[in-house]
Amino acid sequence: MRHGTARAACLALVALGLTACTSEPEEPPKPPAPTKAVEAEPGADGVGDPYYPQDGNGGYDVTGYHVSISYDPKSRQLTGDTRVAAKATGDLERFNLDLSGLKVSAVEVDGEAAKFERQGEHELVVTPAASVADGAEFTARVRYAGVPKGPEESSLGDNGWQLAQSGGAFVAGEPHSAATWYPANDTPRDKATFKLDARVPNGWSVISNGREKPPTPGDDGWTTYHWEEPTRIATYLTTVGIDRWKFDRSTLPGGIPVVSAYAPGVEYKRDVESGLPEIIEFLSSKFGPYPQSAAGGIYINEDIGFSLETQGRPIYASWAELTVVVHENAHQWFGNSVSVQSWSDICLNECFASYAQWLWDEAKEGVNLDDQYRQEAARANNRLWGGKLYDMGAGNEFTSVYDKGPMALHALRREIGDRAFDRVLREWPAQHRDGNASWPEFEQFVQKVAGKDLSGFFGAWFHADTEPAEKYLYPGSLAK
């Protein structure tokens, strides 16, 4: 995710009114114990993330989603038929799925009718005709309909199913958005393949994740569009866009398909998207081979508060420029391929995507990053330093990671040297590709690569809410 201040500058320091700081503690305070995740019990209504305890569900791992929807832009009515293939991680007399604001008409488990009830804001409680044994593979089918619930408010804007000014609709949001349009285990811990069949009236078209399959015209004035993402995906990174899109299609070296879509009124964004091949080539030189099955972008004509790294095909707000394309595509490694274990680990996503913008400016614009860093540090005040980069608390995830985050990574680069830092950028996403990881694991990994104890450095920059001591603030070539 990249929030809207990116349209003005890479960092938000000026907008925050940051000024010079005079307080310089000699050593950072001892890092506090991180908020611990609790392993969810089979049938639990949450997966155990301490920030969002009712996101996701316990007792199963999803292997694949097959979402089938029809959507009428005129009436805003959505009709859905979704199959969730999963494997039980415990004996299940019942289990939950996350689904908000849509009326469920029927549920089946392995072809047999199942009992179901709604609880709370988004819990769909399913009781199969026969219990599902630990280790068994099963498929839940849910049929539902209604006008999708309006988006939730977050610190950066609306999340979930949203209406476009053209009359169409799109889905974007973090930390959760999938449950506004299909039943899901809505947590980044449970990644799965994703297949979408979306039926819309002729004249409208559909963009989503993964690889495009030929559309199926009907004889009733509607057409069904087909998209398949074979690379496992976190649910908040799935999307659908329904509009009168203009499409551009091409192929990257190596055969990766590129599909980009432009809503009415933003066709001029083709100039921005034309830089995508160079961006992916550059990021691959830093982070390793591109890890997704497809590439491209979704350009909406909406002034929402953020752009989002929807897998393989980011969604861009109308204000997004080239630096945002760099940011969202860096997420294809940091956040999408390697996803967070818990939302307290969000620096693994946003700090690295923000620092990718610094790396781009260094390579393509000749920016001296040491000079840029010193300028940012000189005008920073306690509002910047007061933001934690790890275990920052629910609701604070998308704040300091965009400004303090890239500064911290540049300081880390100077602390361990370019050779070790380059290894970290390539080896971390390779080691955890298509999986999940935590910030404490990252600290251990970096210390192993660097061959030294970095607990003081990590404590000062990532755990503390005060200005780092001089030796951590100006390591290596940053020293005054």
Domains of the chain, residue spans = 2-37+339-478
3-state secondary structure 279-339: HHHHHHHHHCCCCCCCEEEEECCCCCCEEECCCCCCEECCCCCHHHHHHHHHCCCECCCEE
CA 195, CA 374: separation in Å to the nearest integer? 47
Kindly report each contact of residues 107-112 with a partner whose C-beta sits within 8 Å and lies 24 or more positions away, as own/partner.
107/140, 107/141, 107/142, 107/143, 108/140, 108/141, 109/138, 109/139, 109/140, 109/141, 110/138, 110/139
Residue with tokens 């209406």, as numbered in its chain: 163
Nearest to residue 292, comparing CAs of 353, 260, 333, 253?
Answer: 333
Q: Would you say the pTM of this structure is higher than 0.85? A: yes
Query: So what's the pLDDT on residue 20?
Result: 33
Strand partners, 117: 125
Q: Which residues make Cβ contacts (< 8 Å) with residue 191, sequence separation at least 6? A: 232, 233, 234, 339, 434, 435, 436
Cα 391 from chain centroid (whole Å): 17
CA 264, CA 259: separation in Å to the nearest integer? 16
Cα 122 from chain centroid (whole Å): 20
For 112, other C-beta atoms within 10 Å of its C-beta total 10
Query: So what's the pLDDT on residue 24?
Result: 36
Query: So what's the pLDDT on residue 150?
Result: 73
C-alpha dist (Å) from residue 420 to 48, 155, 397, 416, 445: 34, 35, 28, 6, 11
For 148, other C-beta atoms within 10 Å of its C-beta total 22
Q: Write down the mean pLDDT value for the chain.
A: 91
3-state secondary structure the chain: CEEHHHHCCCCCCCCCCCCCCCCCCCCCCCCCCCCCCCCCCCCCCCCCCCCCCCCCCCCEEEEEEEEEEEEECCCCEEEEEEEEEEEECCCECCEEEECCCCEEEEEEECCEECEEEEECCCEEEEECCCCECCCCEEEEEEEEEECCCCCEECCCCEEEEEECCCCCEEEECCCCCHHHCCCECCCCCCCEEEEEEEEEECCCEEEECCEEEEEEECCCCEEEEEEEEEEEECHHHCCEEEECCEEEEEECCCCCEEEEEECCCCHHHHHHHCCHHHHHHHHHHHHCCCCCCCEEEEECCCCCCEEECCCCCCEECCCCCHHHHHHHHHCCCECCCEEECCHHHCHHHHHHHHHHHHHHHHHHHCCCHHHHHHHHHHHCCHHHHCCCCCCCCCCCCCCHHHCHHHHHHHHHHHHHCHHHHHHHHHHHHHHCCCEEECHHHHHHHHHHHHCCCCHHHHHHHHHCCCCCCHHHHCCHHHCC
- Token pair in block for residue 323: 């630096």
C-alpha dist (Å) from residue 214 to 197, 217, 223, 228, 475: 11, 10, 11, 11, 55
Q: Which residues make Cβ contacts (< 8 Å) with residue 74, sequence separation at least 6? A: 167, 201
Query: So what's the pLDDT on residue 156?
Result: 53
- CATH superfamily assigned to domain 2-37+339-478: Neutral Protease Domain 2 (1.10.390.10)
| pLDDT tens-place values along the chain, 480 residues long | 776 654 333 333 323 333 333 333 334 444 444 444 445 677 788 888 999 998 999 999 999 999 999 999 999 999 999 999 999 999 999 999 999 999 999 999 999 999 999 999 899 999 999 999 999 999 999 999 999 987 776 555 578 999 999 999 999 999 989 999 999 999 999 999 999 999 999 999 999 999 999 999 999 999 999 999 999 999 999 999 999 999 999 999 999 999 999 999 999 999 999 999 999 999 999 999 999 999 999 999 999 999 999 999 999 999 999 999 999 999 999 999 999 999 999 999 999 999 999 999 999 999 999 999 999 999 999 999 999 999 999 999 999 999 999 999 999 999 999 999 999 999 999 999 999 999 999 999 999 999 999 999 999 999 999 999 999 999 999 997
